[in-house]
């Protein structure tokens, strides 16, 4: 079976390929919810309408996008084997993500209780809550994974061997942030 | 003792795949065992789906029949379609991919063995959940009702006012679960192929089977999410009062159709391409020639993958889209016929000038070529939108897609089973029984599906549980129902062949077909570790190179 | 009368109306091209499997290993693309012919509203309301009279398909579609709902009665009148819950859920085509609609024999 193959044989890391595939498939999923949102822009027969009740979520956006930067710092720290710095940056990332969720929850509470906008009020409500909610659920999943990483890190030095794997989580997190940019533009800018 | 190169594989090691306790099978992460489990499960669901079809054809054999009432019939065609697409086609391709891809690329397993197991078991759960609806589902006709909204479940029929109870929810949930399983498999195939090829196996040297399954996996990643999204939206409509497809409150019935068919059309290529994959391995070996135009085959496959994402609204020609939109989808649909046709020409060119050996796998491939040609041409007819305004939602469409999936896909899957059964079990399937299987299936298939084209031309719509006498539909329906007898006999023949050959089949050895790809370089069945020493290759036909050292492929590729 | 001829067999290749004829012409072209492709490719395939069978001798020597040919690949890609271009252009022309036909100011317009599992038919300009059958005047070559149909639905998706008169167009709730027919032959043309719409989709049948201009005028005059008011059974009918679903012109019955009954006996079938409209069938239907069309939305009203007789006799008067 031997043949004379002289060149070096390097192939992509399978974890990277896997996570990129996952991101591709999630992108397709989000795309459909975005299409549904755009399809129904202007189609609600009764209010409330986006311009009536939506405010630009500047602070949550700042939090979430900064968390992409902090997760990048965390990646680097882990790569340089600086475990304490790594843990700190992961904690900051998680706090920023949690603040994003908290702001989303506050926004939703206001929309439901004060503005009387629910998923069943009109097609705006339907498409708003489903799209923003789908994104928020992905943020929550990321927070769950960061928690897992923290638990593992606080119990020993295992994470050092899994630096490669942390990168996959970081890429996922960057994806979630990129989706937020799209959601922000479509929901809070274009449709308002 | 089989030998691989100079390294011995013992009988015990070779038999590893097929032995083992129930516990070992339940917790296995080995790609060969999971592959077999997928294929066997798919065959079981195929028999169940076939029984549903037998009842339908019995009901439709004569006009004004009262064999089954309308609500039962509506459940039959819903469950038949859903089963065949999601519980037979998809797991079958997952089984073939998971079994063969690591062997063909010279790897020891898939990239993510545990993900592999997860994908299998979630499919099993989804399938059982769908059928549990026969016990647990609630519908308008009371308790114990399976879904009855058709396999593509158009809204607003699926919305709460028109589909009360839970039967529709069983459809939604089970398909969402099997979709997650399919995505898991797809991620695994792509990661395995990109990251675990043996030394020297550049992408250009991968077997066409692997290429086709990579394209299929890419399509799964992009096409299944629209279905999942639509399912979630429908659940939100049904349970949280959302209005995605709720026309009573400003929602759009057409939006469901767009989302479903953005999934649904690529889905039929996802189903068919693995059949092409089997044909692309079998036809060269049994013609004793390399695939004619390998690069063109890869190019055609990738083209089908891309163009196929842009044809979906040809399922919606009758909804009243504007002329420009209709014309666009006519053009894209007819265009996708070109790479598909190119593949047929390349298969024929492979056979041309060869020495064709009509063993059972090749018989099924030849049947596939004739039948898929016809299926493609009736597809071109359906692509001409005004013609489709007559043919859509009639038995002509039913005949067309059964020609693709039964006459095309199933024939190539049987070819693949006859071809790789020796590798997986170490025993040959019986050739005589194989011929009986083939010819009975050919007769039955044509009796049923040739005639159903005419039912459509005579104006018979789909999904009707009965029809009046005097419409001109009696004769074609009776003949179509008679075909079922032959098809059933064919499947029984096949099952008998499998059961008998497992014990008494001729011993296969490593390479019973004198083939050229890496799976034939190890024992039959392969040991748990696949290859004693991971291979190194220099061409797309490594075993040809070994068997013909004076004339190896790498001199010409 | 030729308008009584029942064209029971609905062959799409026997068009009797302009749009169906346009479709037929296109389909013949497509069939011819596909037929030619089939004969060519199947011919080559058949030749190949016969000529290149493995001979029983000399099985050990492999045939010449041919890897491909760029020229051949290009040729058999370009030729199909050309065929696709021709077919697409021919198809685009017919799409335009059919979809871009616009009604003239005086063209007849019918609104068809789909219900589970019957067809509500309205002629807005003429003030006519009926169910399950359309009457249209025949189009002479010298005097084409296209009829435009507006298609809507109150519940789920349906599809209007009378094969010999036109291709099908869907009735989708929350959406209005348009189609047209221009029948050239008198007679009764049958059709079906062609989009699965639930339990009794199979029995949501359709008929289009194409008649001479005179016959059509007579029919319109009859349909425009209010229902006959001289039957003693009317009061009994109005006292029962029938009026919750059904309307009878000129009476207090104004229900919209079920078909308008003003001129019930002028129609050819009952239950949207499931049974012929005869006195005996009408009685059977009223007694228990679930027997002949199980699952349909008219329940068994549990009428006593006497009530049944009275209602039956009243409905028979609604010509």
The torsion angles phi and psi of B150, rounded to 5 degrees, stand at 85, 155
Q: What 3 state SS string does C177-207 have?
A: EEEEECECCCEEEEEEECCCCCCCHHHCEEE
Which residues neighbour C130 within 8 Å (Cβ) at sequence distance 6 or greater? C121, C223, C259, C260, C263, C266, C267
Q: Do chains C and B touch (3 or more CB pairs under 8 A)?
A: yes
Q: How far, CA to CA in Å, does C116 sit from each of B206, B238, C257?
A: 55, 20, 10
Cβ atoms C164, C8 nearer than 8 A: no
Mean pLDDT over the full length of chain A: 93
B517: nearest CA in chain A?
A1
Confidence (pLDDT) at B557: 76
Chain A residues with CB inside 8 Å of B538's CB? 3-5
Distance CA B174, CA B228 (A): 11
Mean pLDDT over the full length of chain C: 95
Interface test with B, best of C7, C94, C173, C197 (most B CBs within 10 A): C173
Chain B residues with CB inside 8 Å of C102's CB? none
Distance CA B401, CA B375 (A): 7
* pLDDT digits 0-9 by tens, B361-371: 999 999 999 99
**pLDDT of B4 higher than 60:** no
Confidence (pLDDT) at B254: 97
Name the residue with tokens 């599906």. Answer: B449
Chain B residues with CB inside 8 Å of A2's CB? 536
Q: At what angle do helices B411-425 and B90-104 cross, to 10 degrees?
A: 50
Complete DSSP assignment for C18-30 = HHHHHHHHHHHHH
Chain C residues with CB inside 8 Å of B357's CB? 54, 59
> Is the CB of A9 less than 8 angstroms away from the CB of B221?
no
B252 touches chain A (CB under 8 A): yes
Average pLDDT over residues B42-53: 98
Q: What 3 state SS string does B255-324 have?
A: HHHHHHHHHHHHHHHHHHHHHHHHHHHHHHHHHCCCCCCHHHHHHHHHHHHHHHHHCHHHHCHHHCCCHH
SS3 B11: helix
User: Hey, what's the torsion of the CAs at B541, B545, B548, B549, to 10 degrees?
Assistant: 170
> Is the CB of B342 less than 8 angstroms away from the CB of C77?
yes
Distance CA B552, CA C62 (A): 13
Chain B residues with CB inside 8 Å of C95's CB? 323, 326-327, 330, 385-386
Q: Which chains does C contact via 3+ CB–CB distances below 8 A? A: B
- Class of A15-41+54-190 in CATH: mainly alpha
Average pLDDT over residues B70-80: 97
Distance CA C63, CA C268 (A): 71
> Is the CB of B538 less than 8 angstroms away from the CB of A17?
no
**C293: nearest Cα among C208, C190, C201:** C201
The shortest CB-CB distance from B71 to any of C92, C197, C199 is to C199
Distance CA B254, CA B240 (A): 21
Confidence (pLDDT) at B6: 47
Name the residue with tokens 């909610």. Answer: A133
Sign of CA dihedral B462, B463, B469, B474: positive
> Is the CB of A11 less than 8 angstroms away from the CB of B197?
yes
B338: nearest CA in chain C?
C80
* pLDDT digits 0-9 by tens, C278-317: 999 999 999 999 999 999 999 999 999 999 999 999 999 9
* pLDDT digits 0-9 by tens, A95-138: 999 999 999 999 999 999 999 999 999 999 999 999 999 999 99
Sequential pLDDT tens for chain A (192 residues)? 344 445 688 999 999 999 999 999 999 999 999 999 999 999 998 989 999 999 999 999 999 999 999 999 999 999 999 999 999 999 999 999 999 999 999 999 999 999 999 999 999 999 999 999 999 999 999 999 999 999 999 888 887 888 899 999 999 999 999 999 999 999 999 988
B200 touches chain A (CB under 8 A): yes
Cβ atoms C15, C21 nearer than 8 A: yes
Higher pLDDT, C214 or B143: C214
Which residues neighbour A69 within 8 Å (Cβ) at sequence distance 6 or greater? none
The torsion angles phi and psi of B100, rounded to 5 degrees, stand at -90, -35
Confidence (pLDDT) at C55: 81
Interface test with C, best of B384, B468, B549, B552 (most C CBs within 10 A): B384
Sign of CA dihedral C25, C26, C29, C32: negative
Confidence (pLDDT) at B8: 64
* pLDDT digits 0-9 by tens, B167-178: 999 999 999 999
B396: nearest CA in chain C?
C12
* pLDDT digits 0-9 by tens, C16-48: 999 999 999 999 999 999 999 999 999 999 999
The shortest CB-CB distance from B533 to any of A1, A31, A118 is to A1
**pLDDT of B141 higher than 80:** no
> Is the CB of B250 less than 8 angstroms away from the CB of A130?
no
Q: Where are the alpha helices (DSSP H) in A80-162?
A: 83-109, 123-154, 158-161
Q: Where are the alpha helices (DSSP H) in B308-355?
A: 323-351
Distance CA C145, CA C135 (A): 13
Chain A residues with CB inside 8 Å of B243's CB? 120, 122-123, 126
Between positions 116 and 175 of B, the ones with CB within 8 A of C are 140-141, 149-150, 154-157, 161-162
Tokens coding A68: 């992409």
Tokens coding B36: 């077999």
Between positions 326 and 345 of B, the ones with CB within 8 A of A are none
* pLDDT digits 0-9 by tens, B454-492: 999 999 999 999 999 999 999 999 999 999 999 999 999
Tokens coding C236: 């009994």
Q: What 3 state SS string does C215-262 have?
A: HHHHHHHHHHCCCCCCCCCHHHHHHCHHHHCCECCCCCCECCCCCCCC
> Is the CB of C167 less than 8 angstroms away from the CB of B331?
no
Cβ atoms B316, B261 nearer than 8 A: yes
**B273: nearest Cα among B80, B90, B494:** B90
The shortest CB-CB distance from A123 to any of B250, B537, B554 is to B250
* Shortest CA gap A144–chain B (Å): 20
Distance CA C127, CA A21 (A): 61
Q: H or E element: which one contains C136?
A: strand C133-137
* pLDDT digits 0-9 by tens, C57-115: 666 789 999 999 999 999 999 999 999 999 999 999 999 999 999 998 889 999 999 99
Distance CA B30, CA B28 (A): 6
Confidence (pLDDT) at B15: 78
C291: nearest CA in chain B?
B69
Name the residue with tokens 């209602």. Answer: C311
Name the residue with tokens 């519908």. Answer: B139
The shortest CB-CB distance from A44 to any of B190, B200, B250 is to B250
The angle subtended at Cα C188 by Cα C182 and Cα C192, nearest 5°, is 85
B255 touches chain C (CB under 8 A): no
> Is the CB of C62 less than 8 angstroms away from the CB of B288?
yes
Distance CA B30, CA B21 (A): 14
Between positions 58 and 77 of B, the ones with CB within 8 A of C are 69-71, 74
Distance CA C198, CA C285 (A): 20
Through-space distance between the first and last CA atoms of chain C, rounded to whole angstroms: 20
Chain B residues with CB inside 8 Å of A130's CB? 232-233, 236, 242, 244
Q: Do chains C and A touch (3 or more CB pairs under 8 A)?
A: no
Q: So where are chain A's domains?
A: 15-41+54-190
Distance CA B470, CA B485 (A): 26
> Is the CB of B459 less than 8 angstroms away from the CB of C64?
no
B249 touches chain C (CB under 8 A): no
Cβ atoms B97, B169 nearer than 8 A: no
Chain A residues with CB inside 8 Å of B200's CB? 3, 5, 9
Cβ atoms B116, A18 nearer than 8 A: no
> Is the CB of B240 less than 8 angstroms away from the CB of A5?
no
Mean pLDDT over the full length of chain B: 95
Tokens coding B79: 């469950």
B546 touches chain C (CB under 8 A): no
Kindly report whether the global pTM for this prediction surpasses the value 0.90. yes
Distance CA B527, CA B15 (A): 7
Chain B residues with CB inside 8 Å of C168's CB? 318, 389-390, 392-393
Confidence (pLDDT) at B2: 39
B266 touches chain A (CB under 8 A): no
Distance CA A54, CA A58 (A): 12
Residues in chain A, overall count: 192
B287 touches chain C (CB under 8 A): yes
Between positions 112 and 131 of B, the ones with CB within 8 A of A are 112
DSSP letter at C17?
Answer: B
């Amino acid at each position: 079976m031997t043949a004379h193959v002289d060149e070096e044989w390097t192939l992509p890391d399978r974890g990277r390929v896997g996570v990129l595939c996952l991101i591709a498939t999630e992108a397709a999923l989000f795309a459909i919810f975005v299409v549904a949102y755009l399809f129904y822009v202007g189609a609600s027969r009764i209010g409330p309408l986006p311009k009536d009740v939506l405010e630009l979520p500047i602070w949550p956006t700042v939090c979430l996008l900064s968390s992409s930067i902090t997760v990048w710092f965390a990646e680097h720290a882990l790569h340089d084997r600086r475990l304490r710095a790594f843990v700190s940056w992961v904690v900051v990332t998680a706090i920023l993500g949690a603040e994003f969720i908290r702001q989303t929850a506050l926004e939703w509470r206001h929309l439901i209780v004060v503005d009387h906008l629910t998923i069943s009020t009109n097609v705006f409500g339907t498409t708003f809550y489903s799209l923003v909610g789908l994104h928020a659920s992905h943020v929550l999943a990321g927070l769950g994974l960061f928690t897992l990483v923290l638990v593992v890190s606080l119990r020993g030095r295992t994470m050092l061997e899994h630096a490669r794997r942390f990168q996959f989580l970081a890429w996922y997190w960057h994806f979630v942030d990129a989706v937020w940019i799209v959601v922000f533009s479509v929901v809070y800018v274009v449709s308002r | 003792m089989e030998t691989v190169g100079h390294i011995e594989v013992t009988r015990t090691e070779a038999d590893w795949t097929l032995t083992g306790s129930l516990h070992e099978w339940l917790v296995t992460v080995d790609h060969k065992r999971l592959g077999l489990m997928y294929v066997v499960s798919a065959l079981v669901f195929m028999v169940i789906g076939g029984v549903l079809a037998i009842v339908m054809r019995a009901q439709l054999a004569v006009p004004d029949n009262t064999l089954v009432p309308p609500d039962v019939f509506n459940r039959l065609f819903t469950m038949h379609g859903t089963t065949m697409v999601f519980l037979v086609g998809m797991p079958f391709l997952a089984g073939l991919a998971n079994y063969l891809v690591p062997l063909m690329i010279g790897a020891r397993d898939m990239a993510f063995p545990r993900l592999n197991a997860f994908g299998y078991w979630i499919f099993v759960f989804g399938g059982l959940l769908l059928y549990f609806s026969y016990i647990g589902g609630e519908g308008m006709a009371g308790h114990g009702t399976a879904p009855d909204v058709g396999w593509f479940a158009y809204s607003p029929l699926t919305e709460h006012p028109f589909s009360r109870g839970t039967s529709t929810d069983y459809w939604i949930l089970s398909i969402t679960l099997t979709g997650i399983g399919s995505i898991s498999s797809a991620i695994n195939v792509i990661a395995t192929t990109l990251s675990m090829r043996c030394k020297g196996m550049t992408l250009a040297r991968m077997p066409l089977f692997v290429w086709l399954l990579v394209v299929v996996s890419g399509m799964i990643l992009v096409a299944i999410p629209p279905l999942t999204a639509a399912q979630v939206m429908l659940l939100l409509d049904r349970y949280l009062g959302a209005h995605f497809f709720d026309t009573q409150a400003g929602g759009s019935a057409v939006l469901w159709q767009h989302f479903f068919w953005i999934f649904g059309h690529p889905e039929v290529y996802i189903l068919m391409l693995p059949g092409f994959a089997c044909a692309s391995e079998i036809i060269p070996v049994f013609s004793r020639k390399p695939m004619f135009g390998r690069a063109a085959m890869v190019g055609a496959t990738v083209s089908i993958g891309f163009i196929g994402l842009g044809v979906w609204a040809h399922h919606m020609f009758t909804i009243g889209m504007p002329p420009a939109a209709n014309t666009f989808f006519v053009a894209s649909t007819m265009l996708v016929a070109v790479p598909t046709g190119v593949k047929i020409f390349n298969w024929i060119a492979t056979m041309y000038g060869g020495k064709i050996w009509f063993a059972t796998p090749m018989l099924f491939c030849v049947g596939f070529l004739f039948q898929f040609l016809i299926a493609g041409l009736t597809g071109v007819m359906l692509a001409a939108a005004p013609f489709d305004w007559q043919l859509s939602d009639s038995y002509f469409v039913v005949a067309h897609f059964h020609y693709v999936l039964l006459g095309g896909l199933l024939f190539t899957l049987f070819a693949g089973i006859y071809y790789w059964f020796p590798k997986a079990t170490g025993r040959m399937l019986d050739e005589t029984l194989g011929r009986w299987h083939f010819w009975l299936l050919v007769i039955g298939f044509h009796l049923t599906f040739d005639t159903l084209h005419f039912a459509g031309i005579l104006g018979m719509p789909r999904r009707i549980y009965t029809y009046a006498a005097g419409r001109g539909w009696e004769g074609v329906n009776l003949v179509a129902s008679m075909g079922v007898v032959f098809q059933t006999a064919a499947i029984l023949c096949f099952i008998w062949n499998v059961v008998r050959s497992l014990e008494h089949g001729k011993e296969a050895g490593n390479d019973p077909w004198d083939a050229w790809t890496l799976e034939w370089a190890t024992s039959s069945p392969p040991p748990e570790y696949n290859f004693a020493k991971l291979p190194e290759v220099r061409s797309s036909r490594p075993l040809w190179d070994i068997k013909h050292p004076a004339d190896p492929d790498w001199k010409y590729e | 009368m030729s308008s009584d001829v029942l064209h029971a067999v609905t062959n799409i290749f026997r068009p009797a109306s302009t749009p169906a004829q346009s479709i037929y012409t296109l389909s013949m072209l497509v069939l011819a091209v596909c037929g030619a492709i089939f004969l060519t490719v199947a011919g080559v395939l058949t030749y190949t499997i016969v000529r290149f069978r493995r001979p029983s001798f000399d099985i050990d020597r492999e045939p010449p290993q041919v890897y491909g040919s760029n020229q051949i690949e290009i040729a058999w890609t370009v030729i199909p693309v050309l065929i696709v271009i021709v077919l697409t252009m021919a198809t685009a022309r017919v799409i335009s012919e059919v979809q871009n036909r616009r009604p003239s100011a005086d063209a007849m317009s019918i609104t068809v509203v789909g219900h589970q599992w019957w067809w509500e038919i309205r002629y807005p300009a003429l003030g006519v309301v009926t169910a399950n059958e359309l009457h249209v005047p025949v189009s002479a070559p010298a005097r084409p009279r296209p009829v435009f149909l507006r298609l809507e639905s109150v519940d789920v998706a349906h599809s209007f398909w009378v094969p010999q008169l036109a291709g099908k167009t869907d009735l989708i709730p929350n959406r209005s579609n348009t189609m047209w027919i221009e029948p050239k032959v008198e007679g009764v043309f049958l059709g079906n709902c062609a989009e699965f719409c639930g339990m009794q989709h199979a029995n949501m049948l359709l008929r289009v009665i194409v008649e001479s201009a005179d016959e059509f005028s007579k029919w319109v005059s009859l349909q425009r009148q209010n229902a006959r008011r001289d039957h003693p059974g009317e009061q009994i009918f109005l006292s029962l819950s029938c009026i919750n679903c059904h309307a009878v012109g000129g009476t207090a019955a104004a229900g919209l859920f079920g078909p308008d009954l003003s001129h019930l006996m002028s129609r050819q079938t009952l239950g949207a085509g499931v049974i012929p409209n005869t006195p005996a069938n009408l009685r059977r239907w009223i007694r228990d609609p679930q027997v002949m069309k199980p699952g349909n939305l008219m329940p068994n009203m549990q009428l006593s024999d006497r009530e049944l007789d009275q209602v039956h006799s009243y409905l028979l008067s609604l010509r």
